[in-house]
Homo-oligomer: A and B are copies of this chain.
Amino acid sequence: MVGWVDRANSKRAHTLAQIPHEWIDPNVINEMKERGYVNTREYLDSVLPQNEVRITALTATELIERIRTRKLTSFEVCYAFCHRAALVHQILNCCMEIFFDDALNKARELDNHLVTTGKVLGPLHGLPFSLKDQVNLPGIDTTIGYISRVGHKAVKRSLLAKVLENAGAVFFVKTTVPTAMLASETVSSLHGRTLNALNLNFSSGGSSGGEGSLIGARGSPLGVGTDIGGSIRIPAAFQGLYGLRPSHGRIPYMDVTNSYEGQELIPSVIGPMGSSIQDLELFAKLVIDSESWNYDPQLVALPWREVPHVKKDKLRFGLMVSDKLVMPHPPVLRALMETCEALRRCGHEIVEWNFPHNKRMIDVGEQVYAADFYDEVQEILETTGEPISEYMKIARENISYKGHSGRALGVSQWWEISREIRSLKEQFLEYWEKTRDLTSDGKPIDAIICPAWPSAGFRDGDVEFGCENYTVPFNVLDYSCVVLPVTQVDSAKDIPDASHSPFSTEDKKIHEYYKPEMFSGMPVCVQVVCKRLEEEKALAIAAVIEGCLANVEKL
């Protein structure tokens, strides 16, 4: 039997071998460093052919429009993204599966289709599209980060992949995940470490870190990630991207491989990551309007609903500056303040949001994730002997510290957790409804604005300075969340706050992690949170926020 190290190395070599040899450059990362770059996006803009740089700078919406109107061919577009993705992967280690040939053939077919019929296949006609490893394409491995699953080629196609293909998407890569998708960095014994697109010293985030890294470096215009504790929002935030965590039941997860299948108290959801709100809307609308609920019983038969009033009415926001457990770093606080100031200037109203049970929400999330003490993960790892990740060791320690017996729960304990979640959902709704008492017109808030993450990421390897406090609660609640970039760390503006009295040792550790020079230039996102199944509203509000921020810049 081949050892797990050899199997992993062999898989990595195999992935690399899928790149055409003229695009292989074993020295690329050294050249980049020698030229003083840490930002892969900027570096590639400086070395790739100008026409490819122009193409890969466009949003998905712009690309589709140019393909539809035949200003660009799908082939040109796919070629540019394949070329760029090949280099991004060699720098950041973000792809698990590469199939450029299939993509370029498909692109040619779509170009022919458009020329011949004069019609596009669908709203994504000719767009290169990346997929997180979990999404199944027949004949291609789905490993979810386990060495033992190398060579497990998928048989079925995920329903979402069918929907996207029917809309004209062109798949060209599947991207890396941490083992079992259970980490906020993207590290596995199988693929190694996935780095941040904007700073080689930083983590890509996780678990959809491969997507975040690839899209962040413009190696893909649009892709899908999954999110059970922040896995779409964290890499989106770390790379200055846009990400939608939809509610469960909105975007089809059918035949997408997952860890802990059948765990439905805090369901993993699947959603888009991209470079503009319009791109996320494009994705969400077309997927929802595919009426996939006729096939996937987990979906709610709820068509896409336009929300024109959101774009013209006065809106009310609840601002959660901190959860009183972990104080966000100064750049994140500034991002929140600038966002609220911009909204106020446009006539919107901001009230305070101080839900008192944040800790219970985070604790119950941990209890769900660790319900079997990660036995499922350990059992799969043991089949090859690959070691359990540091992240999971920490998770086990944390949950033991909080009273977990170290053995899988019984069904009655599971139901107890379920009751706790229901109670928290009820209290959260009640608190939301009570914001009527705070707003000037007696209406409850439309959305919460809060951090997506307390810092502008963390350095690769520093996952212990991470903290899912601002993502997990909305998985527990199953609310609609959009992450959007608002600013970058500015070491001149974002001075450490020496006056902060830490809430706890964890808070102290994270607080002291902030160094202006280290974070300088990293993107800072904020999070918009609407209620369950309000994806249309969350996206529309994110667009409103962008508009208000743009207005302020013009002043």
Contact = CB atoms under 8 A, between A and B. Distances in A.
Interface string A217-234: 000000000000000000
Contacts of A300: 300, 302, 533
B262 A415 contact: yes
Nearest to A254: B426
A429 B298 CA distance: 11
A383 interface: no
Residue of A265, A412, A419 most packed against chain B (CB within 10 A): A412
Contacts of A430: 295
Interface stretch (A403-411, A447-455, A465-473): A403-411
A418 interface: yes
B298 A422 contact: yes
Nearest to A427: B297
B302 A429 contact: no
A503 B465 CA distance: 63
A91 B173 CA distance: 72
B412 A414 contact: no
A260 B418 CA distance: 11
B297 A418 contact: no
Given A411-B410, A412-B375, A412-B408, A429 B297 contact: yes
A195 interface: no
B411 A372 contact: yes
Contacts of A296: 426, 429
A306 interface: no
Contacts of A265: 264
A134 to B, nearest CB: 16
A12 interface: no
B297 A422 contact: yes
A76 to B, nearest CB: 38
Contacts of A302: 300, 302
A261 B419 CA distance: 7
A26 to B, nearest CB: 44
A17 to B, nearest CB: 36
A433 B419 CA distance: 35
B262 A422 contact: yes
Given A372-B412, A375-B412, A531 B301 contact: yes
A411 B416 CA distance: 12
A302 B531 CA distance: 13
Contacts of A413: 411
Interface in A342-376: 371-372, 375-376
A90 to B, nearest CB: 39
A401 to B, nearest CB: 20
Interface string A88-117: 000000000000000000000000000000
A263 B418 contact: yes
A324 interface: no
User: Which of A263, A409, A410, A533 counts the most B-chain CB atoms under 10 A from its CB?
Assistant: A410
Interface in A425-449: 425-426, 428-430, 433, 444
A499 interface: no
A417 interface: yes
Nearest to A300: B300
A533 B297 contact: no
A148 to B, nearest CB: 18
A523 B425 CA distance: 43
A300 to B, nearest CB: 6
B532 A297 contact: yes
A371 B414 CA distance: 11
A294 interface: yes
Contact of A371 (B260, B411, B419, B433): B411
A65 B408 CA distance: 58
Nearest to A419: B262
Nearest to A371: B411
A113 B429 CA distance: 33
Interface in A251-281: 254, 260-265
Given A262-B422, A264-B264, A297-B532, 14 more contacts: A261-B419, A262-B418, A263-B415, A264-B418, A294-B444, A295-B430, A297-B426, A297-B477, A298-B422, A300-B300, A301-B532, A301-B533, A409-B410, A410-B410
6 contacts: A254-B426, A262-B415, A297-B477, A301-B531, A372-B412, A411-B414
